[in-house]
Structure 1
Amino acid sequence: MAEKRVGIIMNGVTGRMGLNQHLIRSILAIRQQGGVAIGKGDTIMPDPILVGRNEAKLKQIADAHGLTRYTTDLARALGDKNDTVYFDAGTTGLREQFVSQAIDAGKDVYCEKPLSTSVESSLRLAKKAAQAGVKQGIVQDKLFLPGIRKLKRLIDSGFFGRILSVRGEFGYWVFEGDWGGQPAQRPSWNYRKEDDGGIILDMFCHWRYVLDHTFGNVESVSCTGKTHIPTRVDEDGKTYDATADDAAYGSFELAGDIFAQINSSWTTRVYRDELFNLHVDGTEGSAIAGLRDCKTQHRVNTPRPTWNPDLPNPFQFREHWQEVPDNTVYENAFKVQWEMFLKHVVIDTPFPHTFVDGARGVQLAELGLQSWAERRWLDVPVINDAEVLKA
């Protein structure tokens, strides 16, 4: 039995996602369970060093979780040969700079999405990582959510027959910060275009990998964005202009003649079971998948409604849907992907969620913004892995 230590330089852990999902619920959870098993009693044990600009915050986080390693000196951290993995969950606008430095230092790199602020810079990072021979990966957490995994199981079983359409709803009301002592649940930079904010850049990266890996490659896009709330109040109580989109209404044509629509909004009040769901219709059956749950209706269980607004509806439509059982234990989606990446680094197991896939997400966001500006459908050019990664 042997324990393989993997030192991880974690940049951006003072932010919401870096702290909660990646440090606490992934890396620390892996440590608490005794590492990642890799067979014959051997394990991978991640050893994080926290990196950020605010030393006081880093110390507070480290002390709260029994950690001793933290620094504000990224260059020094990258220079330590005992820490071989670099993780970035910091500001998107600085990601190309920091990831490039990590690649130059010979680190394997794992990144939050978006990979960068443009498809060109994302592809530069993908090519640079390939030429340097380092392992690289992008966070694609929604593929590992219980609801999406159950949905994929249905697709792989042939449950739907021919899939016809996909309709998605994501979002919730993010408080403006100016009323009733209710601060915003998201950071103010999300609503400033000049700080790389906006729901299209944020969420279209997600929708690209969800659609590509679950249903079929995205072939064209039409998008309308909106800035429904023009002013908000920031973390210091100051009113600011919201210059980025806070809602996006996207339509996508997928391979296999599948049509998809996904609404993304931080200005909607939720009337559904979960903050995100996908409604999938096929010739043989339909399903509704959320973050955790998935319900189905087969053609043999489909009711026969008749439109008549003058009579009470005789059906309780929700009663005709059946729950897909768990049948397994589903862990935190971020943790599951972290374990995959650590195995990829240590024992070279396959890891399909590459920088090229991250570039595809940024590509769809860019095309969504362009479609909105030009008010038209746009084809999605194919990004070929081999062409990008060739030396």
Structure 2
Amino acid sequence: MSRRSVGIVMNGITGRMGYNQHLVRSILAIREQGGVPCRPGADGEAVLWPEPILVGRNEEKLAAIAERHGLERWTTSLEKALAEPDAEIYFDAQSTPLHREAITTAIAAGKHVYAEKPLTEDLAGALELSRAAEAAGVRTGVVADKLFLPGLRKLRRLIDGGFFGRVLSIRGEFGYWVFEGDWQSPQRPSWNYRAEDGGGVTLDMFCHWEYVLHDLFGRVRGVQALARTHIPERVDEAGATYTATADDAAYGIFELDGGAVAQINSSWAVRVFRDELVEFQVDGTEGSAVAGLRRCRVQHRSVTPKPVWNPDIESALDFRSQWADVPDNEVFDNGFKAQWEMFLRHVVDGAPWRFDFLAAARGVQLAELGVRSAAEGRRLEVPELGL
């Protein structure tokens, strides 16, 4: 089987997500498995072989990562990396404010672009990049990892099978307690809590909720949000106290095509009392499901119990035991890796792809409207986007 190499300029891989999920668990994992078949199921065809070219601002960290994984190509110059003869794809996992300039440079160099979300800090910037890519004839993609979680893939199976009947509502809970940094180290970088550096849970998570809702249930037509900064002071990586200028919790109501309503709470200031860090309960006329990162449980109309409200006695019903697990029925790969494989095929083979920069712009649009809704205290329409 022949090998079709694809040079990938990877910017921002010294960060947690860029390193763990994209370099190690995606690109290097694809190499370890022998590449990606160009045409799934076709014997004798070439495999796509990613060739990472590491880019970053910290020479010491880049050199250490390259040595650790036996990689020879790294540089602190984006222009030098983009000029490599085999470079076809530019990937950006930098902090959000740095996306626009770097991606613009990559598009001008004729590279296909794949990026972490949010694509930009504002809708105008996202649409500008989308139009520039369209004019340059390059293919684009944005990470939509939540859709590739085992729990949500099982949920997709239920939707496609007509399990729910008419979907009435979706209720989502996401988040965990991110330590302030004083007596325990925080699990997230300090820039997440500074609005001037592109931080904020609304900007971060509403981009996720847009593609989850859009892809599974329908386009978001209206939004009403409430954003809060529950923890006003935190301690950064150097041990210095700083003022949190970005929201650390967002409570959103989303109206969808078809009449369903989604309510999703996103918080870095909540202690977890549920089975997984993110869970979605979907209620329909024929059945309900609760999907998390890995598990998905269901209760069909035909086996729904009949509880009666009586606060004066202890309930004899064990509500959790009345739900059934949706079986795996397949081996679920790492979600980031699965989407990388799709994007590689899209770039080389023209395989179907729906997570382009216009889809990314919809996420930024919803986040922007969420911030505005919270500031103005009112519901806002979500206009349909186009180039």
Q: Give the TM-score taking structure 2 as reference length.
A: 0.98
Structure 2 residue runs without a partner (length 5+): none
Q: How does 1:1-391 map to 2 (within 5 A)?
A: 1-38=1-38, 39-41=42-44, 42-179=46-183, 182-384=184-386, 388=387
Aligned partners of 2:98, 2:192: CA distance in 1, in Å?
A: 15
Aligned residues between the structures: 383
Deviations 1:157-183 (A, max 9, x none): 11001100000000000000112xx20
Q: CA deviation at 1:40?
A: 2.9
Deviations 1:74-108 (A, max 9, x none): 11111122111100001211211110100111111
Deviations 1:260-289 (A, max 9, x none): 000000000001110000000001100000
Aligned partners of 2:82, 2:61: CA distance in 1, in Å?
A: 20
Local SS of the residue matching 2:351: coil
Letter in 1 for 2:373: S
Aligned partners of 1:365, 1:55: CA distance in 2, in Å?
A: 34
Aligned partners of 1:221, 1:293: CA distance in 2, in Å?
A: 28
Letter in 1 for 2:75: T
Identity %: 61
Local SS of the residue matching 1:128: helix
Q: CA deviation at 1:29?
A: 0.4
Letter in 2 for 1:108: H
Letter in 2 for 1:125: L
Q: CA deviation at 1:355?
A: 0.1
Misfit runs of 4+, over 3 Å: none
Aligned partners of 1:263, 1:154: CA distance in 2, in Å?
A: 23
Local SS of the residue matching 1:327: coil
Deviations 1:290-335 (A, max 9, x none): 0111000001111111111111101000011000000001000000
Deviations 1:320-375 (A, max 9, x none): 10000000010000000000000011111111100000000000000000000000
Letter in 1 for 2:362: R
Aligned partners of 1:265, 1:5: CA distance in 2, in Å?
A: 41
Aligned partners of 2:187, 2:98: CA distance in 1, in Å?
A: 23
Aligned partners of 2:232, 2:347: CA distance in 1, in Å?
A: 45
Local SS of the residue matching 1:173: coil
Aligned partners of 1:170, 1:262: CA distance in 2, in Å?
A: 8
Deviations 1:13-37 (A, max 9, x none): 0111100100011000000000001
Local SS of the residue matching 2:280: strand
